[in-house]
Amino acid sequence: MSVTIVDRYPQNKKGTLSIKSYFDPNVSNMGLESYGLSLFDGVFHEEQLACLEVNGIKRYLTGLNEFAPDVKFLPEVDREAKIKEIRRVVSQLEKELAANVVNPDDAEFWNKIKLLRPDNDDFWSKIVIRVGNDPLYLDPATDPYDLIKLYAIEAGGFSIVAKSYDEARKMSKAPKFYLDKMEETVTVKTETKKTRNKALAELQKMFDKNQTKLFYVAKIIDIDSAQYKKSTPNDILYDNMDKYINGETVDRDKKKCAERFLDVAENDLTTLKLRAIVRDAGTYKYIVTKSDGFIYHLSSSTMLGKTSSDIVEFLKNPLNQDVADAIINKVEQHWK
């Protein structure tokens, strides 16, 4: 094994590389999500390495085929580096599994490979992954079959295993498992926590020092903005925004919620007020969207723009003061 490969996969196999079950606690899965499980106890999923068949020829998604499209279409420098890496690994595996020593730089490299040839159906068809709720630890530094599985997972060779925790949480249909590279997974998970904690700190600052801003932010963020009046206790505003940041309302994505809260909170007070005004003006039908796709002030038939941002800029313009005052005065009557 080359130094490069060993460095990529440290010896501490119990803590660095494994296949783990993936679950989203906010998505119903027959109640299993309440226990941090994706499968019932004792259940395992087994999958054979995927392949594509073209003109009767099977091409397995091994991650160790320099002729695969994903390698072929890499930029030249990256492609050359990838081919060298593939040949080093294939040479190592061929030596360990077939006692066949082939120099990676040999001009006839693939002609001399016996076991790991891309078209060796007898070998690749037997590569399977079987995993359940307990982590399946991989030790690619010492186990050649674990090394094969690692490259296959990263090439998308197993549909039930996402390439990383980050990929798993972004997929439209959540996978059952993901490849856990501890440092990468922890980094992704802590990113959400850091963003959420930053949003909660901003919420606390508003509650302590700028409750008018908290009122406007709640108006903009909450789907039921009309519930908030000037008389609404600040504790209710705080509690509802706390729930939003923690993904306990309509949107369950904690990172997305925290990011949106911070994005809204960055606005100055004037912009926040106008955004809140526009939000409620739509709720109370003082502004409406007509068939041409533009939004109008209903009583004056003044065209305001196509989006909420357009309307905010319209209301900021001193030339539109009369329309702005009319809309603001109407909406603020509902805030008393």
On whether both 304 and 155 belong to a single domain, the answer is no
Asked, for residue 174, whether it belongs to a domain, the answer is yes
Q: Of the candidates 131, 162, 188, which is a domain's last residue?
A: 188
**Token pair for 134:** 């307990």
Helix, coil or strand: residue 162: strand
Minimum mean pLDDT range among 51-55, 267-271, 318-322: 51-55
Which pLDDT score, from 0 to 100, does residue 166 have? Answer: 83
Domain-located, residue 25: yes
Domain presence at residue 261: no
Same domain flag for 172 and 313: no
Q: 185: which residues sit within 8 A by CB, 6+ positions away?
A: 164, 165
Q: Where in the sequence is the domain holding 278, given as residue range(s)?
A: 269-336
Averaged confidence pLDDT in the chain: 87
- 121 domain residue, yes or no: yes
Domain assignment of residue 88, yes or no: yes
* Residue partners of 213: CB distance under 8 A and separation at least 6: 206, 265, 269, 272
Domain assignment present for 251: no
Examine the fold and report which residue of 188, 210, 230 is the final residue of a domain before the chain moves on. Answer: 188
Identify the pLDDT of residue 32. Answer: 62
State what percent of residues in the chain have pLDDT above 70.
89
Q: What are the residues whose beta carbons fall under 8 Å from the beta carbon of 106, sequence distance 6 or more?
A: 112
pLDDT of res. 229: 95
Confidence of residue 184 (pLDDT cuts 50, 70, 90): low
Buried b (16+ CB within 10 A) or exposed e, 40-72: eeeeebebebbeeeeeeeebbbbbbbbebeebe
CATH number at residue 298: 3.30.250
Task: Give yes or no: residues 173 and 282 share one domain.
Answer: no
Report, as an integer, the average pLDDT of 228-233. 95
Residue 43 within a domain:
yes
Most confident of 46-60, 160-174, 224-238: 224-238
Q: Which of 129, 153, 188 is the last residue of a domain?
A: 188
* Number of folded domains that form the chain: 2
Same domain, 49 and 174: yes
What's the pLDDT at 55? Answer: 77
Write down the pTM of the prediction: 0.57
- The pLDDT value recorded for residue 102 is 94
For the segment 247-297, what is each residue's pLDDT rounded down to a tens digit? 888 777 788 899 999 999 999 999 999 999 999 999 999 999 999 999 999
Q: Among positive and negative, which fits the CA dihedral 279, 284, 290, 291?
A: positive
Q: How far apart are CA 212 and CA 267, in angstroms?
A: 13
